[in-house]
Structure 1
């Protein structure tokens, strides 16, 4: 039961349609709450801890089954979405800002993460093709890193760092 709670992100993975999108959506308020409680350090630590717990849960939930990545497992989306929020959390924590003033970055983090998670370019697809619990987790971690890089690039463009 613990594996199911962790793997489905408190049963969010059973929401239909598009459970992965629901998992990414629920990660946003949870990420905000973690940031509010402890800034970037807490969000980063929670991401690492949940990664390990979700990897274990995914292995438990897929053991002996034919599907290495059942749609109800959305803990990987939570981890990836939190990684996509890292640039926002770090900037807000470092500068003492309210993280919600960067709302365009939140939208970019969500859209870019979902794009990379669904499209599965390059390393994201490589991880997904592993066919094991670690691959389930890693494809979303890599999608989250790609989304975070995209958030940084868009912020640089928006703030005139790259143009001007």
Structure 2
């Protein structure tokens, strides 16, 4: 069970770029969750997946505690969903379907991947923990950084053009 969770039902084994694939799969899942229950459902889902993912990741790396296996991509799902919180909140606040904020969805994806790959600041610190919590936290920090940037970009866009 932990392998299925950690690899997002095996998706982590299907690509030479499993993190990008996991992030790409996380976006429509987040949109679906938002459509069903709004921003708060996405928050609850993200928090639940963080703790479930942390357990699954810990179980999967127990025999190899200093590794961050590339097939483990549940952390990408959590980080990507965090990056999308601001888009979900904006859609709910404006009373529009989340897909109408498609530039924000794209920006959240691109910025999350950028921070996850380059590992600046706290992202790199968490990655260097070399344990299951670090595996999860580096993507949490990347997601938070992406969320802040998406919010700033959205604010700048609306301030300049609306």
Same fold (TM over 0.5): yes
The aligned residue for residue 14 of structure 1 is 13
The 8 Å contact of residues 43 and 85 in structure 2, kept in 1 or not, is answered as yes
The 8 Å contact of residues 13 and 71 in structure 2, kept in 1 or not, is answered as yes
C-alpha distance in 2 between matches for 1:65 and 1:122: 25
The aligned residue for residue 149 of structure 2 is 150
The aligned residue for residue 30 of structure 1 is 29
C-alpha distance in 2 between matches for 1:112 and 1:38: 25
Change (3 A) 1:66 1:141: closer
Cα displacement (A) at 1:87: 0.5
The aligned residue for residue 65 of structure 1 is 64
The aligned residue for residue 87 of structure 1 is 86
TM-score normalised to structure 1 length: 0.95
Query: CA offsets, 1:30-64, max 9 Å, x none?
Result: 10110011000100000000000000000000011
The 8 Å contact of residues 65 and 132 in structure 2, kept in 1 or not, is answered as no
TM-score normalised to structure 2 length: 0.96
Cα displacement (A) at 1:127: 0.3
| Moved segments of 4+, more than 4 Å | none
The 8 Å contact of residues 127 and 136 in structure 1, kept in 2 or not, is answered as yes
Cα displacement (A) at 1:67: 4.8
Cα displacement (A) at 1:29: 0.8
Residue 160 of structure 1: SS of its match in structure 2? Answer: helix
Matches within 5 A, 1:42-57: 42-57=41-56
C-alpha distance in 1 between matches for 2:65 and 2:97: 45
C-alpha distance in 1 between matches for 2:77 and 2:66: 20
Task: Give structure 2 stretches of 5+ with no counterpart.
Answer: none
Q: CA RMSD in A?
A: 1.4
C-alpha distance in 2 between matches for 1:9 and 1:90: 25
The aligned residue for residue 113 of structure 2 is 114
Count of aligned residue pairs for this structure pair? 162
The 8 Å contact of residues 68 and 136 in structure 1, kept in 2 or not, is answered as no
Cα displacement (A) at 1:74: 0.2
